[in-house]
Amino acid sequence: MSDDPFRTKLSDFEFQVLREGGTERPYTGEYWDNKQPGTYFCRACGAKLFESETKFDSRCGWPSFYQPAEGSNVTYLKDTSMGMQRIEVRCGSCDSHLGHLFEGEGFNTPTDLRYCINSVSMTFEPAEHDDEGAA
């Protein structure tokens, strides 16, 4: 997919992260400490990525999840940049860079996986509250 449609839709920084594989600095992103219930979507194309129920505090400074949302479309690529062996997480719908996947770090989660995702790669939609019967 060509980057051209994304150049006008995304800010320069969003484009750098999503389309050029950049990263944001830790503890600076919009969602690293978001605790609201809701769903995270790809900022570039709107594809569903993660649910807040799978978000956990990994103390790394980026939003961390232990699994993608049901029905999400994430893909994985081997990443040997920066002298490390990592697994890159990409949006399966538009092939945008989201972050990296780490495993076996000992977090007390059901999968022992950490999807370390750039806040700027996502948008967040809070869960709707059922206010019926509220006083």
Residue 116: active-site member? yes
Q: Please give the C-alpha separations between residue 31 and each of 25, 40, 58, 77, 104, in angstroms, as whole numbers.
A: 12, 10, 13, 24, 24
Residue 116 burial class via C-beta count within 10 angstroms: exposed 0-12, middle 13-18, buried 19 and up? buried
- Is 80 exceeded by the pLDDT of residue 84? no
Q: What is the pLDDT of residues 9-41, one digit of tens each?
A: 999 999 999 999 999 999 999 999 999 999 999
Query: With bands split at pLDDT 50, 70 and 90, how would you rate the model's confidence at 135?
Result: very low
Q: Which tens digits make up the pLDDT trace of 96-123?
A: 999 999 999 999 999 999 999 999 999 9
CATH topology of domain 29-126: 2.170.150
pTM: 0.89
Q: In this model, does residue 130 exceed pLDDT 70?
A: no
Q: Does the structure show a pLDDT above 80 at 132?
A: no
Please tell me which residue in 42, 45, 94, 116 is annotated as part of the active site.
116
* Distance set, CA 1 to CA 45, 95, 119, 124, 129 (Å): 12, 8, 22, 24, 37
